[in-house]
Amino acid sequence: MLSRSNTPALHSMAGQMFQQALPGILNTTSPRAWAFALIGIHEYLQRLAGDRRASQIREELAGRLLTLYHSHRSDEWRWYEDRLTYCNAALPHALLMCGQSIPNTAMTEAGLESLNWLADLQHTDGDEGHFVPIGSNGFYQRGGERARFDQQPVEAQTMASACLEAYRSTGDKRWHKEARRAFEWFLGRNDLNLPVYDPTTGGCRDGLHPDRPNENQGAESTLAFLQTLLELRLAENTLQPTG
C-alpha cells in the first residue's frame, strides 16, 4: 500500500509523463482523440493552471473542433462530421468545457447547440422518452439510415457526462434530466426494457442486441456504468450550477 509520503512524488511523475505525451496529440486527426485529450487537459489545468504549453494545446485542439463544426453544420445536421459513430457526446462535451474555461463564447454556443441536437436525436418520442444511442452496427451517415443496434454502454456514459457538464455551465435542470435519462438506460429504461447493469455480479453487460442483452460483462462496460453512477451521485450531492 502506498503511503501519503509518496503522493507528491507520484504527482510529479504523472505530471512529467503527461507533459511528454501531450504534444503528440497535435499530430492526430481524430476529432474524438482531440475531444478526450481536451477533457484530460481540462482536469490537468485544474491543478496546474499556469502550464502555458497545455493551455496552448487546448486552444489549438478546441479551435480545430470548432472549425469542424462550422464546416459541417446545417440546420438539419448540427454536427462536427458527416457521420455519427461512437462516444459522440465527447465532442460537444469537450467544446463546451473549453468554451467555459478558455473562455470562448463561440465554443460554448457550439457545444450546447450540438449537444442539444444529439440529445433530441437520441431518445424516443416525447419528453419522457427513453435514451436510444446510435447503434454500432452501421452508425449513422448523414443522409442515410440510422443504426438502432447494437447499443453500447460507453454511449450512455459519455452522454450523461456531457449533459452534467452542460448543467454545470448553464444551470438548466433540463440537462440534469438528460443525464438521468442516459443513466437509466443501464437500469432497463431502454428499447428492450431489460437491465444492462447486473446487480448480482456488480458488472455491466456489453450492450443491447436487437433481441437480447450481450451477456459478456467486460471492463469497459462496467467502468462506463460505474463512472456514470459516480458522476451522477457527485452531481446530486455537491453540484452547484454556475449559470
Average pLDDT over residues 211-230: 97
Question: For residue 104, how many other CB atoms are within 10 A of its CB?
Answer: 18
User: Which position has the higher pLDDT, 66 or 236?
Assistant: 66
Predicted TM-score (pTM) of this structure: 0.92
pLDDT per residue as tens digits for the range 31-69:
999 999 999 999 999 888 888 999 999 999 999 999 999
At residue 5, the pLDDT reads 56
Q: What is the 3-state secondary structure (H, E, C) of the chain?
A: CCCHHHHHHHHHHHHHHHHHHHHHHHHCCCHHHHHHHHHHHHHHHHHCCCCHHHHHHHHHHHHHHHHHHHHHCCCCCCCCCCEECCCCCHHHHHHHHHHHHCCCHHHHHHHHHHHHHHHHHCECCCCCCCECCCCCCCCEECCCCCCCCCECHHHHHHHHHHHHHHHHHHCCHHHHHHHHHHHHHHHCCCCCCCCCEECCCCEECCEECCCCEECCCCHHHHHHHHHHHHHHHHHHHHCCCCC
Q: Is the pLDDT of residue 243 over 50?
A: no
pLDDT at 2 over 50: no
User: What's the rounded mean pLDDT across residues 184-197?
Assistant: 97
When the pLDDT of each residue in the chain is averaged and rounded to a whole number, the result is 93
